Structure 1
Amino acid sequence: MQHGAAAGPPLGWNSWDSYGTTVTEAEVLANARFLADRMAQVGWDTVVVDIQWYEPTARAGGYNDDAPVRFDDRGFLQPVVERFPSAAAGAGFAPLAAAVHDLGLRFGIHLMRGIPRRAVEADLPVPGTPYRTGEIADRSSTCSWNSDCYGLRHDHPGAQAWLDAMIDHVVGWGVDFLKVDDMLAPYHAAAIEALSLAVRRAELAHGRPVTVSLSPGTDLSLAHLEHLREHADLWRVSDDLWDRWSDVEDQLGRMARWAPHSGPAGWADADMLPLGRIGLRAERGEPRMSLLTVDERRALLTLWGLARSPLFVGGDLPSSDDGTIADLVHPGLLDLTHRSADGRELLREGNRGAETVVWGAEGTGARDGARWAAVFSTADVARRLRVPAASAGLPGAPLALTDVWSGVRVDLAPPGAASGGDSVLDVEVPAHGVRLLRLDPADRPTTDHS
């Protein structure tokens, strides 16, 4: 990891799932205050304004072609004052960033790869160079789903100069977190390297780290792992995830590939959590409480925790249900996220729609010596599942475990012929659900040397 180094994956709130392209300053601050009051004490510390904060005609349900974006005389995007009134008189996001910082939180914004098309058409001077914006743009390099920007000509010296100045400008506002889109699908190696260099220079100039998150991650290959680790802090491994069980089920396979490689050198991001009240003015769907059931929500959170994915909730926090908030700040989830390592898939059996998937992880820090085992079921009905203890990464001797979500104690079943003489984890798993179990050091048998 080259930028905003951290021992654990970042946790925070992002405006996308609730407000799409239309979030306002008041809505950002309302969610920031909720995060500070109810969630920051257990690690939720970042607030991110997602895409098109610079688009005056932005709407729910998609993007406007060739949108009339706001930018200054250098081609740097500026917040729409009608939605972000504190940005008046050229203040940009500095006042909002300061307000978020005053709450003890970090502030982030979304950027698209490249340079605004409208700034290219205006052919503006590139600060500190003899070049102009019209000559540093690669007009053949465009995003397939958003028309705001062209790519940069990274073989032109003016391109890095413009990017350096733009990133320095937004970091100067007080931005701590940059979510940069249209970077990974297709994989734009030169753009990633140029961004990394610009951020590194801005960090040196402003004396503080900036976390770099890359999106969207469609068909992202492990072939890029070392390049990603060198130039980013976190990277998406999928397209957008919404409140559909099929989306969560798909992540079981993706995170099985990525989890062994996720850690302080860089975090594989399974995407935002479409939980709580979402869709207020979003890209998809009407205003609603997340369509995921309680069991599906806990399966999602368990997988993200085991895989040590970043956790960015997308629901409008002040109007979300108490059950969702309780799960997001659940001590067992935060233990898993902050105090586990080596999370990995151990077993997968069955066909899609009726799979049994078993994960394990080891405790670190305050949970040193602990062990987690999670039994997921992708079936549409509750099932009683019997998993040999060794297949779940557990010792075979008699012992009791803690069900993390409920707090109840669960005993291993005695050995049986079907288990080859091994003790068995015998659990009822809800439809599209999980049983997350933790073995604490005090409950380990003294003869366990595993």
Structure 2
Amino acid sequence: MNLNQIHNVYFIGIGGIGMSNLARYFKNIGKQVAGYDKTPTALTKELEQSGIAIHFEDNVALIPKDFKVENTLVIITPAVPKLHSEWNYFLDNAFEVKKRAEVLGIITKDTFCFAVAGTHGKTTTSSILGHILYESGADVTAFIGGIVENYNSNLIGSGKTITVVEADEFDRSFLHLHPNIACITSMDADHLDIYGTSDAIEESFIEFADKIQDKSKLFITTDLPLKGVTVAVDEDSVYTAFNVRIDNGSYVFDIKTPKGILKDFRFGLPGRHNLMNALMAIAMAEIFGTPTDAIATALASFKGVKRRFSYQIKSDNLVYIDDYAHHPTEIDAVHQAVRELYPTKKVLAIFQPHLFSRTKDFADDFAASLSKFDELLLMEIYPARELPIEGINSSWLLNKIDNQHKKLVLKENIIANILESDAQVIVTIGAGDIGEMVVSIKEALNETI
């Protein structure tokens, strides 16, 4: 398919974080863009303000007439149900209908592509890399699975020759991509509802890694069963961050590279996992030829990604942090960062599990991770795309958690329960609609300061 011959792009599920950055991209390169989504959100409002027509009822009559003609590309999200009438209209009338991953594959085939893969860390790593390349003057577009604070957008740049993409393992989407340089941040088991076994996930990552024939262009952590350039913090590898210290709330560190030692890099995001993400981005930018000074300057100015250890309140007597963590490994990373920054303070975590299948598959690991916090409020499971699984609920998970100060709470009672706590550090965690409660929680807490 030749994108140059496409005049109109219609999105079914335009408000998703991954779909909306594609919509912005096609708008930027001069295509007519419109779409459907189930509900209005802040993202759909921003898209409408940019001139994109969006409606919120599954109704073929609401599709703009300009999009019912040839040279229209239709992009769907995997979340769309098979009986969706607009989707079936386009299929029945022989339109070009593609999954988002397939379209990213087409775009990356015609550009120099950086692909960031891994069960955790994709969004932060690709954001840092996109920011470094953009700030260094590269002709780049970075498609990000979160809102980057520096740009208040999930799209960085409007370049036509270089792309940065998150290589998503869900539904094996990353196998559509055409990467020139890639990294794999982790290969933990996840999405077992799709893959079935952890071995199947590993096989899929190996297949992705094989897309990079020149292994000097594939960056990996030291624990992965792959050939590539190793990257690590405080352990021997090809790229190593060492002499790590905290100065005025930021990490300052040195880097061992194949070309020598780089001194005094500064990075403002807390947590060793974020330091690792930064190092992956630095290694990829360095092998591409980005000047060291430009890398260091951009890294120091990176402000982070919304819902990735995002400070909502940061005062002497109260800290409120929000994070998207929805896997035990990610929760452990949040806990590590909080303990490193606030070793003597009481920490309250509010967690909303995401997916019945993930809760079932990793129940013991979730229990171990959540037991580490001083106090825990556990919400009901956010179902997302799933139907309930008998016997799998938050009460079942709560019983596995070894924490004397744990409680199951309904969504409508969250704020009241938070205000009853004497914790000095509060963390909301999860990938469901807990993110929509952050503003209300912040407002309620601000009134107590």
TM-score (norm 1): 0.27
* Greater RCO (CA < 8 Å, at least 6 residues apart): 1
- TM-score, length-scaled by structure 2: 0.27
Select the structure that is richer in helix.
2
